Structure 1
Amino acid sequence: MNGNDTSLPHTDRDSPSGSPQGDLDGFLVSLGVAVEPELGELALTHRSWAYEHGGAPHNERLEFLGDSILGQAVTVKLYRDYPELSEGELAKRRAALVSTTALAEVARALGIGAVLKLGRGEDLTGGREKESLLADSVEAIIGAVYLSAGAAEAERFVLRLMETLLVDPDRFTDALDPKTALQQEAARRGLPHPPYDTTGSGPDHDRRYASRVTVDRVTGYGTGTSKKNAELAAARDAVSQLRRR
């Protein structure tokens, strides 16, 4: 990718998760930036793997760096693109974009889960799908890009990652609390707070949840690795449908 290419980099999400190390080189190339191999590998190394390998380095320092770079790039982008918004509204939009849920979406698009270096226990308990772990890895990769290619390229890289989220019309519609937004929609229609029907399935180490919620003949559906995330997704879906009617 060059500086003008705003497409989201991705990898083959069907790569075998059992042997992530074999996919590392291809993954780093797919990012479209010149990431130093050692930094790229470090960005994908979780502390659980490091612990099982004698206290080897892991990605938490890069995560710390990437978090700052991500926040700055998104803040500047929002400030320039939305001159009419107040400080509070800008802060709300920034928080929606850098949230764990949003960054986990980016991580899944990149195929990060398949190439993470995880400890055996973390791998067996569904670590490759954990939102917090995926989000942290995105930040670590941003940190690796900054150290490898410099500030300007890191900013361009962040904006490429965020492009799809930035143009999502529902992302900033009560994005931080869609359940509250749905309650407000119900109240405007003179309806009680909507109940959620949420069920879990699968083994304890790889539990998946599905939720649905109905308001005014509209049913929202959502899935997630926790009950909370499934219900948030269902609420967001219902709000989006109600506001399009």
Structure 2
Amino acid sequence: VPIPGMEEASLKIFQSQVLLPFSLSNGSMHSFLGPFSNPSKKKTHNDLLPEDDSTLPFVYSPTIDLSLFSDTAKMFRAFPLPKDKHIQWLERIEASKQSIWKEAGIFYFVQLSKFDLNVFDPQMLLSVVFFWNRETRAFEFPCGFVCPTLLDIAAITGLKLLGDCYLPDILEEEILMNETLIVWDKKTYSAFVNAHHGEEGTPVTDSKHIAFLLYWLSACVFCTPSLQVPKYYYALA
């Protein structure tokens, strides 16, 4: 929604109905529909959930830093683009191992890595972050707390709500790390994919399957900030 001119009547309507302003690359100001909670209004004290001021949502800050909206190119930096090599490798492993994925309950979760998060509206996602409370792990809207539930996670990822606990400290590796053909000096996402992609038509061994799951956990599930594939996900893979 473009910001109107300086007419007082138009501005009053605009200020009561917008959610959050943002600027486009050409410098023009727009906003999302709201209403937008008044940032100068102090948050109501809550004895049930005492909060540290440093964890309050940005919307309660006296000033809102719109510089967060200036560059969204690196917003999903830790989530790789589903490039051709990534998709080809995924589909090759899937054709051979999908029965194992379905038995483990991760088949539909793996399918999410075929989508590009960067195609979604980064401005809208950033505007939602302004209402996120890091301490309560919930969005604080005028209507109250809103947060994702386990049912939401199950619907999105396809993961089961109940299952066995994963305890890496007591898990015995069925295949020792030094028995695999994983190339550990190729740690960056692109280098790891190129090193373990394999040739079309060749069988998918357990070692190649583990390598793919290791990459998938690092790049698509935990989104490692280093943009590399670490060894500590090996036991889980």
The reply to whether TM is greater than 0.5 is: no
More helix by share: 1
TM-score, normalised to structure 1, is 0.30
Higher relative contact order (CA 8 A, sep 6+): 1
